Amino acid sequence: MHMKNKSRELRARNRMTQEALAAKAGVSRQTILAIENEKYDPSLSLAFKISKIFHARLDEIFFG
């Protein structure tokens, strides 16, 4: 079972494409897609990068 997250909602709210988020986070678009579809749990360092990009706390984005 993978961690639930709000990355898709935050990305849409910020009018950001998967490609743009991937570039900012230093990963592939496929990685962002897998995270958004809850098929992949990001590493802690990637989760922190995503939280910084969205200016949100980790627990506001990723939760069990």
Distance CA 55, CA 64 (A): 20
Alpha carbons within 13 A on the beta-carbon side of 8: 9
Give the predicted TM-score (pTM) of the model: 0.93
Instruction: Measure the CA angle with vertex 40, ends 15 and 2; round to 5°.
Output: 110
Task: Work out the pLDDT band at 2, boundaries 50, 70, 90.
Answer: confident
Write the CATH number for 47: 1.10.260.40
CB 57 within 8 A of CB 46: no
Q: How would residue 49 be classed by pLDDT, with cut points 50, 70 and 90?
A: very high
Range of the domain at 38: 4-63
Average of per-residue pLDDT across 11-22: 98
**Total domain count, the chain:** 1
Give the model's confidence band at 1: pLDDT under 50 very low, under 70 low, under 90 confident, else very high. confident
pLDDT of residue 60 exceeding 80: yes
pLDDT value at residue 18: 98
